[in-house]
Structure 1
């Protein structure tokens, strides 16, 4: 099951970069001009920086996505040093 959300922020690139640097010691990561990817054992997290938002997509191989969604948003909150309230869409 895939999950997506959009975080309203004008610091998307900085937050994305911080999370990538934080997790690159634990997971394989990839970065392009358009997006950043974090390859976890059972999921791939894609962060796409926009001018006014950060788009987050979790491609999860397991049905229980709520835990991973919470882990990702908790880490993004820490990297941004603020609390984002998000609503996940499931596909």
Structure 2
């Protein structure tokens, strides 16, 4: 599994974490609080989220061949929720 991380600067981190988790809770295994979230996709990919007052930290775990797709779908969903903000996703990949 490849691992990617990103820190997104936003004062609405908790709101976006909860929106993303609620959005996917109908299809996937999801656990969340206002500060922490975990989404387990049916194919084994995992997204974890951690919200603080100033940032949303996201970790995405997936097979290397689907890593870019997972990063993209997570970013697009959060950008859609944050339409009033310009968020930046600069993913850092680990081996």
Fold-level similarity (TM above 0.5): yes
Match of 1:67, SS state, is helix
Match of 1:57, SS state, is strand
Following the alignment from structure 1 to structure 2, what is the Cα–Cα distance between the partners of residues 83 and 75? Answer: 13
Following the alignment from structure 1 to structure 2, what is the Cα–Cα distance between the partners of residues 31 and 4? Answer: 18
Aligned residues: CA RMSD = 1.3
* CA contact 2:46–2:61 (8 Å) conserved in 1: yes
Q: Determine the structure 2 residue equivalent to 1:10.
A: 11
Instruction: List per-residue Cα deviations over 1:41-73 (Å, max 9, x = no partner).
Output: 23110010011000000121x112111100010
Gaps of 5+ in 2: none
Mapping for residues 54-73 of structure 1, pairs under 5 Å: 54-60=56-62, 62-64=63-65, 65-73=67-75
Gaps of 5+ in 1: none
